[in-house]
Structure formats: C-alpha cells, structure tokens
A and B are shown apart, each in its own frame.
Chain A
Amino acid sequence: MPTEDKRWRLVNRTMRLHGNQPHALIETLHSVQEYFGFLDPDALKYVANSLRVPLSVVYGVATFYSYFTLQPPGEHTCVVCKGTACYISGASGILGSIAKKVGIAPGETTPDGKVSLLTARCLGSCGLAPAVVLDGQVCGKMTPTAVLDRMEVWRNEETSERVPLRGEVDEP
C-alpha cells in the first residue's frame, strides 16, 4: 500500500470484491476518489500494479471519464448543472456571475483553496432547474445571488471545517 492510511484497506476491499481483475479498474478508481477526494499519481500506480493494468491504460481511463479528477478539490464544492432544462433556465447566468465575482471557471478552485467550481452534464433534477449542488446537497431553482451568497459564506469561514470523506473517520 502506498501509505499506512487505513483508507487503502477500503480500496483493497473493492479490488478484492472484483477478484483483483483488470475489469475492476473503474470501480476501484471510484473507491479511491470516494475515499481520497481525487486520484494522485501514487494511487494510479498502486491501482495499476494491483490489478495488473498498464499504467497508460489507467491514466487513459482516469482522464476519459469526466467524473474522475486528478486535482485535489477545494474545501467546498459547487456543481452547476448544465443540462438542457437548467441551461435554458439560466445556468449560464450562474456560471457567468461566479466567473465575474469569484473569478473561477468550471474545473477551477479559488486560490485560497476554499471553493471548487464544477459542472455536471445533467443531474436529472430538471424539474428543479436551474439546479446547483452545494457541498453534495442538490438545491433547486437557484439564482446567481443565492449561489454567490453561499460562496461568500464559505470563503469567509475562519477554520476549515471540511466535511470528512467517507472512510477518513472511523465509522461507528
């Protein structure tokens, strides 16, 4: 295992569940991202060796799928849905005002590391358009102001009260 971190045991569990077979690659990357928040080169190498998949294939798969990220995310995440219904109900207005006021584009994190902005192809919450996911919670019928207000609160937080990832704390 790359480190002593006990989250690797959870990743190993996923691989074992699939018989450590090459076809477990995507499921395993899902686990790594769920427990560590992103995929770093050491993790990719470890997964490649464990599943006996060529390094280039692992990197190829990790970058083919937009759900995977190779960058550590900010403390908070804001995912703006860009599905058709959200688009025609004003999702681009929300992205535009974030770019203007906060200065980050989709895929970027604020320099203080507080907020990451992402987009989703469609959350399937079209009935609530425009939808935005703020720290994992789907919020419907959003306005630019509502999103900016929330970001403002996040950015003014003193201590980083990051929500721990699954597996990072001992579950009761």
Chain B
Amino acid sequence: MTLSIEDLEGIARIEKDKRESFTYQINVCVAAGCLSCQSGVLKEAFEKEVSRRGWENWCSVKGVGCLGLCAAGPLISIQPDGTYYRGVGAPDVSEILESLGGAPIPRLDCASSRPFFEQQPKIVLENSGRIDPERIEDYIAEDGYKALYNALRMMRPSEVIEQVLASGLRGRGGAGFPTGVKWTAVAKASNGNKFVVCNADEGDPGAFMDRSILESDPHRVIEGMAVAAYAVGANTGFIYVRAEYPLAVQRVRTAISQARHLGVLGNNVFNSQFSFDINVRLGAGAFVCGEETALIASIEGRGGRPRPRPPFPAEFGLWGQPTLINNVETFANIPPIIRKGGKWFATIGTEKSKGTKVFALAGRVNNTGLIEVPMGTTLREIVFQIGGGIPGDRAFKAVQTGGPSGGCIPEQFLDMAVDYESLASVGSIMGSGGLIVMDDTSCMVDVAHFFMEFCMSESCGKCVPCRVGTSQIYHLLNRITKGEGKLSDLDMLEDLSDLLKNTSLCGLGQTAPNPIMSTLRYFRDEYVAHIEEKRCPAEACKIHEAREAV
C-alpha cells in the first residue's frame, strides 16, 4: 500500500497538535558546530531537568538544525518567545527553565546580535533551527513532501520544468547555470536509464552551507531530488557527500531510510507511476571531485580526473547515461518553488539572479555562521549589519568569495549588490557561497599563496597547464612571501594566470588564477612592498625569520 495525501496530512496534523500542546519549546542546536561545543550534553541536561520537574507535558526539548550563529555555540532558541541564547552550558539549564515566561537572562541573551536573526528572510533555511532533522514527521508538519505530491499527482513533468524555468533559479554550485534549462536538456535526452546526482562535495575551504543544509533539513534535499527525478524521467539518485562530514552523512542516511519506510521514496510514490530511490556515495578528500565529470568518475569508483566536455553529463553521464547534476542548495530551493510557484520565487532577488543565497560567513567578523539573504543584498549589509562588523574594530580590508576559484573584493565595492554578474564584474565569483572577511592583519599575497598551494595540491594532474602551471605560480608566490621576489615575477604571474585561465581542461585550472589576478588588481602595492621593501605590510609573512634562517 502506498502513501496517500490523507496519510501525509494526518501525520502533519498529529505533529502540529503535539507541538501546540506545549507552552514552551526549547530548541537546542545539534548541528556540527554546536555539537562540537557539547550541545548534545546540553540537550540531555535539559531533558533530564524537564522530566525531573515533571514539566514534560508543557515544555518540549528538541534537537534542531543550525541556528546560524555558529561562533556563539551552543545556541538555543526558546519558542514562542523567540529568545536566542548563546554559549549555553549545562549549568545554565535550571536558570533558563526558571526564567520561562519572564524576562530573558541578559548574560546569555543574543540581543546584541538581533540583526543577525532578523534580517534574513529564509527560503532554503526556513526549517533550519526549527525542526528536528532526524524526524521525518517534523518535516512533514512544515508542508514537507507536499511539493512532491503536487508534482506527481497534479503536474506533468514538463509543467514541473516550466515552474523551475519561471522561477529563474540558477545553480548554486558555482557557475550559476539556469537550473530549468539543465533539467530540460536531461528530460530531452532520449536514451537509457537516467540518473539524478546531488553534488554535496563542498570542497571550497571556507564554506559549510551544504553541510549545514544536510545536517539541518535533509528531507528538503531528498524531496528536491525526487521532484527533479520526476521532471527529467530518472529512477535512481546519488548523493555524493564528503567523507569529512560524518554527521551530514549520518543524517542523510537516516532521512533516506525514513523516506523509504514511509513510501516517499520507493515504488509508485503517492500511487503514481513514479519510482525513485537514492544512494549515498562518500567522497574521499579531493576538491576536484566537485567538478561534475570528476564526480561522475568518483561515483563509478575511479580516480576523480575530469574529462573534456562535451559530451555533457546531461547526455553522457554516470555509466554513460543522461545525468542531472545539481548542488545541494539548488535542490533545497525546489520544494518551495513547486509549492508556491515559480512566479513567487522570481519576485525575490535581482533581475538576473533570483531567490536567496546562503553564505557561510567566516574569518574576521563578529557573527561567524550561516546566513541567507536575498540576491542583491550589499556586501556592507552582510559584513557590518548581519555579520556585526569586525572584531576589535579593526580596519576592513577585503572579502573573499568563491574560495580558490574566487577573488578578494576590496572596500570600494562594499556597496555593491551581490549577484552572479556583479561578483564576476569585480574579478570574483559567487562560487558555492563561502564568504571570508579579512582585516588589516591579513596579507593579500599570503592569501593568494594559500589558495595557490590549495590548487596545486588539489590539481588532478591530468592537463599540463594546471599540473605544472599551478606549481610554477606557487613557487613564484613562495619566493615573494619570503622577500626574495623580483618585480619581473609579477609579469610572470600575470602571464601564467592568463595561460591557465585559457588553456586548462576543467574549471579548477581555469579559475585557479582568480585569487592572484584579483589581489594583483586591487592590492598590487602589497606585492611591491614584499619585493622592493622586503616588508609585509600586514606583518603576516615571516620575511625576516625566513631571511635570518638563510
């Protein structure tokens, strides 16, 4: 017997009734950031204390996904008051329970971080920090799997794609390719068994959006994949997750088995002709496997070396079959688009970039954590309002977006509205959404050196420009950061950057020069200071130590 809409609504009703029976809900963040600050112990302490007091009937304790402000963990939120507490420990439990219904405890209150919590209209993260990621019922109570029902029972595959096209959604994995166009291509491919793949490799060293989505709301991604599979005509899906994310892997596996058990994955979902199942594959520590042809090779059990495209995966993907590959956040946008319509989604954002973007805000900023803002929000709002500015009121220097494929954006562009085009126009990229703030203690040459070391050791080694070129650039930068560079090295850097950008086989080599080109463009004086004055203006490079050691 398969699941019906009545069953789904029944589950939602029971869950909602249960929630309403509680006067207070204590939501403890159990995503990886807070767990590493002992939020698991904290949750148990709350449960014990609530039951010791015999308050179980009106006060619930729930583990929820990421509340966003990872720097201040463990975080809890108290509903319906909407109070957020930071840095909570087991000794605070009694005091917090006593204060329910009264004024918040000033010592723990996140009042100063209000803008962080209030300036984020959420779509992708709408359930993060609100539902228990390990219970499918909690997701269903938030209209979960309704989009899948609507798609399967009320829409033709082509109508699903029309909605995605109308939404203007673009891929969140980096390049910003229109999602609806990609779905159309896979839907049109006529041959064989098609596949849907979720790219959760998230290799950008400074990004944790996808991890957080999978840890906080895994069913949303599963539902997005199922809708996609219906639209393009696929029956098997893969989620390719980094092995470095054990909690995300575990939550995704739990979610898949719950979804199978309930019947939203499996044969004849919602009594339709549609059957779909999902497998999990673990990455093994290779950034290049985020590139789609390398990712396919890796799922097939081979080394992750990209191959020339065309043929594109939409035509020739996993095991040679037509394959749809989208990023985690892209899939996470699908359920609300189907539920509320593509038109609704298209009202949010800028002319060419619709919807919201999740950013992992980190580095020299007070409120490090996960944020979601509409496309078109300015960098200043992100860094200084939501991010709460720079610790110790030091001077802002740059934000780095797009990780090793992106660039450093200087102060003069702080008022720029963020979208795919604007970031590209200043020499960076949207990338997957890592946003690292740097202050005057960060040396831009050192940052370029850091990213080039990354690209050099993550290069798969297949094509010559990337394999040898990244190594040559790294050696030049190494020399400069040690105070041993020559001015002609800067020309050589530009020359090699141009070569890599134009002749490398895949996106890794083609974009690897971006951190160098952008820092050379905006912070050339720092390079020159290292070379001519043998001095690091930010005092980050150990020029003198290096020279003394010689």
Instruction: Report A's interface with B, CB cutoff 8 A.
Output: 21-27, 29-30, 53, 57, 60-61, 64-68, 82-85, 87-89, 120-129, 131, 137-140
Contacts and interface: CB of A to CB of B under 8 A. Distances in A.
Nearest to B400: A84
6 contacts: A65-B286, A83-B206, A87-B205, A122-B205, A126-B363, A138-B36
A124 B243 contact: no
Contacts of B100: none
B245 A88 contact: no
Given A85-B436, A126-B362, 6 more contacts: A64-B304, A88-B363, A125-B32, A125-B36, A127-B362, A140-B73
Contacts of A127: 33, 69-71, 73, 208, 360, 362, 368-370
Nearest to A81: B205
Contacts of B212: 124
B363 A89 contact: yes
A137 B71 CA distance: 17
Given A68-B284, A121-B287, A140 B36 contact: yes
A24 B458 CA distance: 23
Contact of A66 (B207, B285, B368): B285
B411 interface: no
Contacts of A68: 284-285
Interface in B46-93: 69-71, 73
Q: Which 5 pairs, one residue from A and one from B, show the smallest C-beta to C-beta distance?
A: A127-B70, A84-B206, A67-B285, A65-B284, A124-B208
Contacts of B342: none
Interface residues of B, number: 55
Contacts of A27: 281-282, 301
A30 B282 contact: yes
Contact of A129 (B298, B303, B368): B368
Interface in B380-414: 400, 403
Nearest to A137: B36
B478 to A, nearest CB: 14
Given A121-B287, A128-B70, A129-B362, A30 B243 contact: yes
Given A82-B205, A121-B285, A138-B36, A23 B362 contact: no
Contacts of A65: 283-286, 303-304
Contacts of A140: 33, 36-37, 73
B515 to A, nearest CB: 10
Contacts of A82: 205
Interface string B278-312: 00011111110000000000111111110000000
Given A23-B300, A124-B202, A124-B211, A88 B447 contact: yes
B436 A88 contact: yes
B434 interface: yes
Contacts of A89: 363
A124 B286 contact: no
B301 A25 contact: yes
Contacts of A21: 301
B494 interface: no
A61 B302 contact: yes
A139 B36 contact: yes
Contacts of A128: 33, 36-37, 70-71, 73
Nearest to B203: A121
Interface of B: 32-33, 35-37, 69-71, 73, 202-208, 211-212, 243-245, 281-287, 298-305, 360, 362-364, 368-370, 400, 403, 434, 436, 438, 442, 447, 450-451, 454, 458, 460
Contacts of A126: 70, 206-208, 360, 362-363, 368, 434, 436
B365 to A, nearest CB: 10
B282 A138 contact: no
A2 B37 CA distance: 42
B438 A88 contact: yes
A44 to B, nearest CB: 14
Contacts of B450: 84, 87
Given A88-B438, A89-B363, A26 B71 contact: no
B217 to A, nearest CB: 16
A53 B304 CA distance: 16
Nearest to A66: B285
B133 to A, nearest CB: 16
Contacts of B285: 65-68, 121
Nearest to A127: B70
B303 A61 contact: yes
- From B203, B206, B369, B403, name the one whose CB has the most chain A CB atoms within 10 angstroms: B206
B205 A121 contact: yes
B205 A83 contact: yes
Nearest to B242: A124
A125 B434 CA distance: 12
Contacts of A26: 281-282, 284, 298, 301
A55 to B, nearest CB: 14
A140 B370 CA distance: 16
Contacts of A25: 301-302
A84 B436 contact: yes
Contacts of A23: 299-301
B243 A122 contact: no
A26 B364 CA distance: 37
Nearest to A34: B243
B205 A64 contact: no
A110 B460 CA distance: 30
B175 to A, nearest CB: 20
Contact of A64 (B35, B36, B303): B303
A24 B301 contact: yes
A50 to B, nearest CB: 13
A137 B206 CA distance: 19
A84 B303 contact: no
Nearest to A87: B450
A140 B212 CA distance: 17
Contacts of A29: 284
Contacts of A84: 205-206, 362-363, 400, 403, 434, 436, 450-451
A125 to B, nearest CB: 6
A120 B71 CA distance: 20
Contacts of B37: 128, 140
B299 A60 contact: no
A120 B212 CA distance: 18
Contacts of B287: 121
